[in-house]
Structure 1
Amino acid sequence: MSIESLKLYHFPASRSARVKWMLHEVVGSRFAIEIVDVYAGALFSPRFLRMNPNHSVSVPILEIFWSDGSAQQMLESTAIVAFLADAYGEAHLAPPVQASRGRADYLQMLQFGGTTMDMLLWQIRIHEHMLAIQERDPRTVTRYRSKFATEIEPQLCQRLESAPYICGEAFTAADCIMGHNVLWARRYGLCRASVFRRYLARLAKRPACKAAFDDIDAFILEVAPEQPLLTTFNG
């Protein structure tokens, strides 16, 4: 069974940008895309809850249409990026699926970006710009900003000072996750060291990266009080 076509449900500069980037890397522009108005509460409509019942405020949703006529939805950005890297192995964006130091390090950094880093950035984001004012907790912001600056950034700096990409000399799918995270962190005043600017400049030379963020100007950081999202968002 093979992949016939792909469709991405996307919101500019959000986690779905990671998947958009990866799609451009492996299939060019040969995928469908639908912009989802997250702030208007679109993800809580019956249509989207059938695809993602987790009451999540976040995209992506990747719809995979298989050659047997069936369709499948994937929801987690890191899983989707990993799947695409392996499904389109000819793009050479992941070490071969075998026991190797390179594969172990690649998976470690892919998941580190998609879990540990993501959780810290998400907590900062929701408590600074998404939750209703009375629900925001400045202590959470202080805690996770400190943890990110003192624990996460030094690890990344060490890697990016010794190699051009997060897993070494070659660009991999892990850089789609990490590059997005660094952009995200910089929106919050983190990852300001010159090593991160050089890393982003290197990534920005890739046509797929440019295409992934060609709509970044449509991203609005603050969720306005009148937006329907604030009445349905439960974290």
Structure 2
Amino acid sequence: MIDLHYWPTPNGKKVTILLEECGLPYRIVPVNISRGDQFGPEFLRMNPNHRMPVLVDHAPAGGGAPISVFESGAIMMYIAEKAGRFWPRDVRGKYEVTQWVIWQMANQGPKLGECGHFRRLGDREGDQSYAVRRFTDEANRLYGVLNNRLVDRPYLAGDDYTIADMIAYPWTVNWKGQGQDIEEFTYFKRWFEAVGARPAVQKGMAVGNDLSTDVTKLPPEEQARIRKMLYNQRAIPVKVA
């Protein structure tokens, strides 16, 4: 059995999509990031970077103790390798997919995350117009990367649907909130609709939706507490036994 320490964000939904596509049994262990569960000592033992998701496989290949994996890209590689699906084994196919997984982790996720952050922030922390413009433009560039890649192929790595598509899709669902017009990206739109129509993608995207909290409906002081906890983080001091 696989335990997935999870909250319904794009980084979590990448993994649930893959688990649903593979048909692997798994159990959701909620990590309420608004409450600060990710800073608890038990979670930090699994992921010193205090970010979800984290996967714990209680039945790893070859047996032995459970295997714990953090970082969504690494988790997806682990699952795909375990299931023997969605990540080619030949060297050319494998790295055609791998480079897009790394692209998503290094570019799409961080930049679209910053885009959404500054566009939601408004003027609560002063003039954010440069940051909004900077990351909205960068989001547009990244949608252009996807669009150009998909001109002559149905999926990011070629003819086959892989973890490269699954890892990128959840971050594109909020294209409106990122200040983008999907009609500008014809080939991306075709891919977006095709991936989004897959039953396993729809199931994976829906996992944990009942856990979400609409932060905008919380009292102002609670909203301020959550913002401070999530957006004003500094180093955790070393604790020496």
TM score, norm. by length of structure 1: 0.81
**Which of 51, 54, 58 in structure 2 is aligned with 1:61?**
54
In the alignment, the residues of structure 2 paired with residue 132 and residue 12 of structure 1 have an alpha-carbon distance, to the nearest angstrom, of: 27
Residue 220 of structure 1: CA displacement? 5.6
Residue 186 of structure 1: CA displacement? 4.1
CA contact 1:127–1:136 (8 Å) conserved in 2: no
**Measured at CA, do residues 11 and 136 of structure 1 come closer, stay the same or move farther in structure 2, by a change above 3 Å?**
farther
What's 1:198 paired with?
A: 190
RMSD, aligned α-carbons? 2.7
What's 1:212 paired with?
A: 204
Counterpart of 1:141, as a letter, is V
What's 1:38 paired with?
A: 33
SS of residue paired to 1:9: strand
SS of residue paired to 2:173: helix
- Please identify the structure whose Cα radius of gyration is greater: 2
- Structure 2 runs not aligned, ≥5 long: 234-241
In the alignment, the residues of structure 2 paired with residue 87 and residue 155 of structure 1 have an alpha-carbon distance, to the nearest angstrom, of: 30
Residue 117 of structure 1: CA displacement? 1.0
Q: Does 1:25 align with 2:21?
A: yes
CA contact 2:96–2:157 (8 Å) conserved in 1: yes
The percentage of counterpart residues that share the same residue type is: 24
Give aligned pairs, total.
223
Residue 152 of structure 1: CA displacement? 1.8
What's 2:88 paired with?
A: 95
Residue 130 of structure 1: CA displacement? 6.8
Residue 231 of structure 1: CA displacement? 3.4
In the alignment, the residues of structure 1 paired with residue 126 and residue 45 of structure 2 have an alpha-carbon distance, to the nearest angstrom, of: 28
Counterpart of 2:146, as a letter, is L
Counterpart of 1:115, as a letter, is A
Runs of 4+ aligned structure 1 residues displaced above 6 Å come to none
SS of residue paired to 1:63: strand
Counterpart of 2:196, as a letter, is A
**Which of 108, 111, 122 in structure 2 is aligned with 1:117?**
108
In the alignment, the residues of structure 1 paired with residue 20 and residue 103 of structure 2 have an alpha-carbon distance, to the nearest angstrom, of: 23
- Structure 1 runs not aligned, ≥5 long: none
TM score, norm. by length of structure 2: 0.80
Residue 189 of structure 1: CA displacement? 2.9
What's 2:170 paired with?
A: 180
Superposed counterparts of 1:115-154, under 5 Å:
115-129=106-120, 133-134=124-125, 137-149=128-140, 151-154=141-144
